[in-house]
C-alpha cells in the first residue's frame, strides 16, 4: 500500500549523495531551500521538525508555534546536519518564519480525541488554518504548501479560497501530504478509497479480506486515537508521512525527474473540485494530476459512495472561507 513511500525512504537511505545522521554531504551543489513548519511544537510538529532537520535538501528550517518553539528549535539545533534552525513563537514573528520559504508544512491545530467528530475539529482548526494561510499569502505566496491540519477534506479548500482572495492561488502549489498510493479520494471515513486492485505486488484478496482491509484503512486514524486512550492522535506516523511528502516536494523543486506521490489537490479527475490521486511533482509544484487508472467493480462502487460526503466537506470549507 505504501510502495511509493518506501521507494522514497530507500532513495534517502541508499543514495550515495545523501547522508542522514552524518556530518558530511555530497560535494555536489545543493540549492538553498527554506522549509517552514507551522505548528512545530505540537504532537506532529515536533517529530516532523526533527525529520526535516535530518533532510539534506533543507538549508534553513523555520519552526513556528504559539508557544514553546524556541525550546524545540534549540533542541533540534544540536543535530549536526546542514540546516540552520530558528524558532518563532508569537504572532509578531509569523512573518519572519514565512519570509523566503520554499515549502510550508502546516500540522497546526488540535488533534482529534475520542468522541470528537470531524465537525468538532473543523470548528477549532478552520480558523487556525485560515489565519496561517492569510500570512502565507502575504509573506511567501510562491511557496509550496503541504496541508496536514485536520479535517483535510475542508482545510485544503479553505486554503484555496484564502489564496484566491489574496490573488496568490496556484493549484500547483497546494496539496495535502497524507494520502499515499494506492489510496485515493479524501481523508476521512468512507472518502478514503484504497485501490487494492492496483497494489504492487498484486494482492489476491477474498471478498471478506478486501472489505476488512478497506475498513481498516478508512478507520486508521480512529484506531490510533482509541489506542492512545484520549492521550493523543496519529502524530508520529503523520510526521513521517509529512516529511516524506516534503522531501518529494524539495526533489521536484530541485529538478529531480518523475517524482510521483499521491495528494489531495484541485482536480478534474472526477466531478469533485478537490480529489486525492497520483500527482507528478516538479519545479512548479504539481506539474500533472494523474488519473485513477483501472478500478475494480468494488472500487467503482466505493468511488460513487464517497462522492457525496467528500463534496459536503469541500463545500463546508469553501463556505467557511468565503463568509
Task: Break the chain down into helix, strand, coil percent, rounded to 5.
Answer: 45, 15, 35
Q: For residue 63, report the phi and psi dihedrals to the nearest 5 degrees.
A: -110, 125
Q: Is 19 annotated as catalytic?
A: no
Nearest alpha-carbon partner for 191 in 303, 296, 319, 111:
303
Q: For residue 75, report the phi and psi dihedrals to the nearest 5 degrees.
A: -60, -50
Whether the CB-CB separation of 102 and 253 falls below 8 Å is answered with yes
Nearest alpha-carbon partner for 272 in 144, 157, 169:
157
Q: Which three cell numbers stand for residue 66?
A: 504559539
Helices H / strands E in the chain, number of each: 10, 11
Question: CA 37 → CA 60, 206, 211, distances in Å?
Answer: 11, 42, 37
Question: CA 290 → CA 85, 264, 286, 296, distances in Å?
Answer: 36, 12, 10, 18
Report DSSP state, residue 78: T
Whether the CB-CB separation of 148 and 106 falls below 8 Å is answered with yes
Query: How far apart are alpha carbons 184 and 262 in whole angstroms?
Result: 8
The residue annotated as part of the active site, out of 187, 278, 307, 316, is 187
Cite the active site residues.
187
Amino acid at each position: 500500500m505504501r510502495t511509493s513511500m518506501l521507494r522514497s525512504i530507500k532513495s534517502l537511505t541508499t543514495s550515495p549523495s545523501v547522508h542522514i545522521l552524518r556530518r558530511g554531504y555530497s560535494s555536489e551543489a545543493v540549492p538553498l531551500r527554506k522549509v517552514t513548519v507551522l505548528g512545530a511544537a505540537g504532537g506532529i510538529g515536533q517529530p516532523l521538525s526533527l525529520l526535516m532537520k535530518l533532510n539534506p535538501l533543507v538549508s534553513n528550517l523555520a519552526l513556528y508555534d504559539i508557544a514553546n518553539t524556541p525550546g524545540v528549535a534549540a533542541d533540534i539545533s544540536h543535530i549536526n546536519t546542514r540546516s540552520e534552525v530558528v524558532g518563532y513563537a508569537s504572532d509578531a514573528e509569523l512573518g519572519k518564519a514565512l519570509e523566503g520559504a520554499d515549502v510550508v508544512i502546516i500540522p497546526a491545530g488540535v488533534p482529534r480525541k475520542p468522541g470528537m467528530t470531524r465537525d468538532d475539529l473543523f470548528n477549532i482548526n478552520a480558523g487556525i488554518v485560515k489565519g496561517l494561510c492569510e500570512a502565507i499569502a502575504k509573506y511567501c505566496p510562491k511557496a509550496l504548501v503541504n496541508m496536514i491540519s485536520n479535517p483535510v477534506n475542508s482545510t485544503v479548500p479553505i486554503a484555496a479560497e484564502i489564496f484566491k482572495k489574496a490573488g496568490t492561488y496556484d493549484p500547483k502549489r497546494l496539496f495535502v501530504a497524507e494520502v499515499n498510493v494506492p489510496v485515493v479520494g479524501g481523508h476521512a471515513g468512507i472518502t478514503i478509497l484504497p485501490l487494492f486492485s492496483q497494489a504492487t505486488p498484486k494482492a489476491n484478496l477474498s471478498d471478506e479480506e478486501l472489505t476488512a482491509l478497506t475498513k481498516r484503512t478508512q478507520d486508521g486514524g480512529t484506531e490510533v486515537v482509541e489506542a492512545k486512550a484520549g492521550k493523543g492522535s496519529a502524530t508520529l506516523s503523520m510526521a513521517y508521512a509529512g516529511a516524506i511528502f516534503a522531501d518529494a516536494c524539495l526533489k521536484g523543486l530541485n529538478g529531480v525527474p518523475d517524482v510521483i506521490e499521491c495528494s489531495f489537490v484541485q482536480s478534474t479527475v472526477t466531478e469533485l473540485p478537490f480529489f486525492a490521486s497520483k500527482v507528478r511533482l516538479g519545479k512548479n509544484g504539481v506539474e500533472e494530476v494523474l488519473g485513477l487508472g483501472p478500478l475494480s467493480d468494488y472500487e467503482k462502487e466505493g468511488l460513487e459512495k464517497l462522492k457525496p460526503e467528500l463534496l459536503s466537506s469541500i463545500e463546508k470549507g469553501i463556505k467557511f472561507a468565503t463568509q
